[in-house]
Amino acid sequence: MQGCPNTPPEFYSGFSTAAAIKAYETLAGITHNTGFAVPQARRPAPKTLPLSTQKKLLLPDDLHNGSPNELAAVARLRSVPVYSVEAMQAKGLLKFGTVVGFPSWIVLDAQNLLAEGRRLNGRQYPQMGTLAQRKTHTLRGSTKDWPLGLTASRLPILLVEGSGDFVAACHYCFDIPLEDWEPVAFLGAAVKTIHPDALPLLKGRWVRIIPQLDEAGRSAFSIWANLLLKLGCTVQLFKLDGLIRANGQPVNDLNDCTNLRPEDRNAMHEILALP
Query: Which of the residues in the chain have pLDDT under 50?
Result: 1-17, 19-21, 23-52, 178
Q: Are 100 and 94 in contact (CB under 8 A)?
A: no
The domain ranges of the chain are: 9-34, 68-272
Tell me the pLDDT tens digit for each residue of 74-117: 999 999 999 999 999 999 999 999 999 999 999 998 888 999 99
Tell whether domain 68-272 is in CATH 1.10.760.10. no
Among 113, 109, 75, CA closest to 91: 109
- The Cα 206–Cα 160 span in angstroms is 14
Q: Are 183 and 149 in contact (CB under 8 A)?
A: yes
- The Cα 144–Cα 146 span in angstroms is 5
- Amino acid letter at 169? A
- pLDDT at position 234 is 96
- pLDDT at position 233 is 97
172 CB-contact burial (10 Å; exposed 0-12 / middle 13-18 / buried 19+): buried
271 CB-contact burial (10 Å; exposed 0-12 / middle 13-18 / buried 19+): middle
The DSSP bridge pattern shows strands 182-186 and 206-209 to be unpaired
Q: Are 225 and 232 in contact (CB under 8 A)?
A: no
Cβ count near 62 (within 10 Å): 9
> pTM of the predicted model, to two decimals?
0.78
- pLDDT at position 179 is 62
